[in-house]
Amino acid sequence: MKVARLHGVGDVRLWDEPAPTPGPGEAMVRVTAVGLCGSDLHWYGQAGIGDAQLDRPLVAGHEFAGVTADGQRVAVDPAVPCNRCDMCQAGHPNLCRDLRFAGHGAQDGGLRDCLAWPAHCLVPLPDSLSAAAGALLEPLGVAIHAVDLGHVHTGATVGIFGCGPIGLLVLQVSRAAGAANLLVTEPLPHRLDAARAWGAQVWTPGREVDVAFECAGASGALDDAIAAARPGGRVVLVGIPDDDRTSFSASAARRKGLTLALSRRMKHTYPRAIRLVETGRVEVESLVTHRFPLEQAPAAFALAQRREGLKVIVEP
């Protein structure tokens, strides 16, 4: 089978490797669509994320869908929790102390023709969802979890600071949750246009929001989020900073009595994500601006790193 492995900063290589053999409880999945995520770009651009560093050639990709050996179309949940630790037992598998995650550390991800994956992590796709939409259920799940942490309520004013794919999904989920006003910041014109198409207005200093989502992984975006949040409001940090450091003005946050929440992936969101897409309350297909075959994975990464579009999909 064909495999795309990341060997170092900006170094993606194609290899022919033997197909895996499923172990107990695993199913073979032929991969049909893989979304390149911002965290994949951290691996590509810095050869790591925070204290997790590349120490062997890695198959990236954790947003993906495929087809099982018996013909079932599925979205693949990239997170495999242990289901034994205190966090799993408390209902927080995203905080599992022994989590395996596709395309991270020692666990290869989806940028290959096929893989063996735990059957209980495969989510059947309805016929109405394409393979690309199935891959985008994972980032949609991240957005759902972030909005849950933000406690967005009907009639709320919500700020989204950074309008990459995650920010645009947070925008849509906030609207579906009942937000009445959506305010955004984004330096890239094509991403700002996408946010406006979904009903957002540009945030200007002085306008207050009930909930602010930092989705850029940049200190400037967090500063704006804290400045925008009303007294007693909530700020949810979703973005991943390049240098593994986050800072903000403590006095501004303290005087307002803000609640800060850090969002960690997602939990129990696939059924909700499917319903949101099936009912048209969240639209994911138009996020896809570029498609590449697996053989062109190096070019796909390079384009995504330049932030030229919205979502780049690789189709093995």
**CB of 248 within 8 A of CB of 222?**
yes
Which 3 state secondary structure label does DSSP give 197? Answer: helix
Question: What integer pLDDT is reported at residue 50 of this predicted model?
Answer: 82
Q: 209-214 and 229-237: which strand pairing?
A: parallel
pLDDT of residue 120: 96
For 89-106, how does the pLDDT look when each residue is reduced to its tens digit (9 = 90+)?
999 999 999 999 999 988
Stretches where the chain sits below pLDDT 50 are none
CATH 3.90.180.10 segments of the chain:
2-136+284-315
Question: 289 near 94, Cβ under 8 Å?
Answer: no
- Sorted by sequence, the CB contacts under 8 Å of residue 202 that are 6+ apart come out as 183, 184, 185, 192
> Domain 140-262: what homologous superfamily?
NAD(P)-binding Rossmann-like Domain (3.40.50.720)
**Sequence ranges of the chain with CATH classification 3.40.50.720:** 140-262
Helix (H) or strand (E) holding 114: strand 114-118
Q: Which residue has the tokens 């690789």?
A: 314
* Count of beta carbons in the 10 Å neighbourhood of residue 18: 7
Q: Over the stretch 138-170, which tens digit does the pLDDT of each residue have?
A: 999 999 999 999 999 999 999 999 999 999 999
- CB within 8 Å of 312: residues ≥ 6 apart: 35, 36, 289, 290, 291, 292, 300, 303, 304
CATH architecture entry for 2-136+284-315: Alpha-Beta Complex (3.90)
Cα torsion 143, 148, 151, 152 to 10°: value is 40
Distance between CA atoms of residues 198 and 165, nearest Å: 13
